[in-house]
């Protein structure tokens, strides 16, 4: 799982596998989001294509 901070754009992978509440770089709370992996884009596309 890869995460990124929407505030400072810092990308990282949490060692615990959990979403941290704060960005480890800028220490802002609530800015950490999951980065969409290429496979997720592909999955989403194939779902839409079947409709």
Smallest distance, Zn ion to C-beta of residue 33, A: 11
Binding site for Zn ion (CB under 5 A): 5, 7-8, 10, 23, 25-26
Distance CA 44, CA 51 (A): 11
Residue for token pair 């980065």: 35
Question: For Zn ion, which is the closer residue by CB, 26 or 42?
Answer: 26
Smallest distance, Zn ion to C-beta of residue 22, A: 8
CB atoms within 10 A of CB 5: 20
8-state DSSP, 35: P
Question: For Zn ion, which is the closer residue by CB, 9 or 43?
Answer: 9
């Amino acid at each position: 799982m890869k995460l990124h901070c929407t505030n400072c754009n810092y990308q990282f992978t949490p060692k615990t596998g959990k979403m941290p509440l704060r960005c480890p770089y800028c220490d802002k709370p609530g800015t950490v989001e999951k980065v969409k992996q290429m496979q997720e884009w592909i999955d989403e596309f194939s779902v839409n294509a079947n409709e």
